[in-house]
Structure 1
Amino acid sequence: MRIYLPSTFPGLAEVLDSGGLGEPPLTAFAVTERLAGPQGAQDDEELEYEALSCAADASLRLLSADPAAPRRRAVLAVEAPDAAVGPAGDHAGHPAAVVVTATLALKRVAAVHVDAPDAEDAVAAAAADGPAHGGETGAPAEHELLWYATQELPYLLGRS
């Protein structure tokens, strides 16, 4: 199952240094039955984008809690075994929310999605606003996350 795990640049460094995604339980986002709805009528690609967008919003909440972190959203796209992912329950706030119940290794990361450096001002403003209506942070819609291969993590973190 593809899950989207929100993070920050310090969180990405921790993943790279430890070789794992952190101790469970972890909140992530995925294409769930609740997100797809009873008919599952939406396009799979649209549903994946919705799950990724939810993780990007959650990354903004993490940035709000860590003022020292670079003002760029980060999301890890992870291939997780179905047995390692459980429902987040009704209290989760979004139908794409899931809970990672097992420790996952860095090798399960399929890609990293991050903001370009030119998004820092917009991300900083959105993170400073903090959670607003219904838990949404007012993500900077004019900035799409960029895709990076996991091998590029050292480059992203300025370690190359």
Structure 2
Amino acid sequence: MMRIYVPSTIPLLDAACHAGEIGPAPLTAYAVTPALREWYSGGDDEELEYAAMAQAARASVGLLAADPSAVRRRVVIACEVGAVPPADGTVELGDARLEMHVVIPWTKVAAVHVDAVAAAGVVGKAADTWDAAQNGDEDAVFALDSCEGEDLLWYATQEIPDLLAAEGPRGGLRA
């Protein structure tokens, strides 16, 4: 089995939980790839897993940028899968990105990582400036990099329904 990290948002997590699967395919996921292992050759398995998860968390900001109504908290779904496609040869050194051509059953979810509520301001600024960051704007890149200072909280699979119930239908905490 191999651990993969799927970037998400609270509304997308809610939809996947209720559908019983993460999809549709193809899905972008992140894992300890040969390119990541080569780039971070001094890292142990735990450090490599963390680096892959960090790349998924960054991609979650892009999903938030595409959905302005979603609460500004990064979400990463950790899954255990049996087969991961090999890189297609266009992967850059250090890249943990994979393209999954399958829907991932909810039973493969191992945990979910979500920003604390207090991180919403930092993550929101990064989401609001996502496009500028992709175009190299230094202030926007700084805002995106600032998200890495926020720790993702860990939720076991049995805690996910309670997390979603507390968040409400669009990912905003219920009063």
TM-score > 0.5, shorter chain as reference: yes
Tell me the equivalent position of 1:99: 99
CA 1:75–1:40 in structure 2 vs 1: closer, same or farther (change >3 Å)? Answer: same
% identical aligned pairs: 44
Tell me the equivalent position of 1:110: 110
Cα pair 2:54 2:148 within 8 Å, conserved = no
Tell me the equivalent position of 1:145: 152
- Residues in 1 aligned to 2:146 and 2:45: alpha-carbon distance in whole angstroms: 22
CA 1:38–1:48 in structure 2 vs 1: closer, same or farther (change >3 Å)? Answer: closer
Q: Mind listing any 5+ residue stretches in structure 1 that lack a counterpart?
A: none
After TM superposition, the score normalised by the length of structure 2 is 0.82
Structure 1 residue 154: deviation in Å? 1.3
Cα pair 1:13 1:157 within 8 Å, conserved = yes
Greater gyration radius: 2
Structure 1 residue 88: deviation in Å? 5.7
Tell me the equivalent position of 2:125: 125
Q: Mind listing any 5+ residue stretches in structure 2 that lack a counterpart?
A: 168-175
After TM superposition, the score normalised by the length of structure 1 is 0.89
Q: Which stretch of structure 1 is more off in the superposition, 98-107 or 55-64? A: 98-107
Secondary structure of 2:124's aligned partner: helix
Pairing 1:1-160 to 2, within 5 Å after superposition: 1-37=2-38, 40-82=41-83, 84-87=84-87, 89-90=89-90, 95-131=95-131, 132=133, 137-158=144-165
Cα pair 1:88 1:97 within 8 Å, conserved = no
Please list every run of at least 4 consecutive aligned residues from structure 1 whose deviation after the TM superposition is greater than 3 angstroms.
38-41, 91-94, 133-137
RMSD: 2.4
